[in-house]
Amino acid sequence: MRLPGAGWFLRKRPYIPAPPGGEPVPEQRGRIRAALAMKTNSQLEQDRVRRQTSDSAAEAIDEKTRRHIRLYGVQPRHELDRRIAEVERERDMEEVLETNASILALSGAILGTTVNKNFFLITGTVLGFLTQHAITGWCPPVPIFRRIGVRTRAEIDQEKYALKALRGDFKNLRGAKSRADVASVWKAVNT
């Protein structure tokens, strides 16, 4: 059985929403398709993990992100800078899984060597989970981590770029002056 890779995902015909005035013109359609096709690995990873995440956990993560954007969007620049630095240091789902898996696998190997060979089952189980996550984007620890709020790199980047836009880092988006500006930035980073 051949598993679909990233090439399969990018070959899928993307959904192109019609603009408020009706159907997109052909040159718009081409630019939209090109933008949709340029998904990064972290975006593809986020899609895999997000598809495997319960609706309630995904909504809780999104609401937390929106709350941070609303809160810091009207704060002084030094507070915004501090939050962006925090977001840049935040560990994503892959880092959390890899760290926990390596600790458990190493512990299982050491205990299997020194105490009892049955501890090698821990190492085997953890490696099986990592393989399952690499193929499907899901393994038993993922729902637990998602419930406690661990985000994917793309979800972290959403908040980071929204905050940078509110700070005025991008030419076509100004700093926030009201809650309405915060909402427009959130919409911009989600499209």
- Mean pLDDT of successive 10-residue segments in the chain (191 residues)? 39 42 48 44 65 91 93 90 96 94 96 97 95 90 94 93 86 55 70 65
Tokens 């630095």 appear where?
A: 85
Residue 94 lies in a domain: yes
Record the pTM.
0.68
Buried b / exposed e over 54-87, threshold 16 CB at 10 Å, is eeebbebbbeebbebbeebbbeeeeebeebbeeb
Residue 160 lies in a domain: yes
Q: What pLDDT was estimated at residue 47?
A: 75
Residue 70 lies in a domain: yes
Residue 56 lies in a domain: yes
pLDDT in tens, 143-172: 999 999 999 999 999 999 999 888 888 765
Q: What pLDDT was estimated at residue 108?
A: 97
Q: What is the helix (H) or strand (E) element at residue 164, kind and residue range? A: helix 153-167
Range of the domain at 111: 42-189
Residue 95 lies in a domain: yes
Contact 158, 188 (CB under 8 A): no
Residue 12 lies in a domain: no
Residue 7 lies in a domain: no
pLDDT in tens, 70-83: 999 889 999 999 99
Overall domain count for the chain: 1
Residue 29 lies in a domain: no
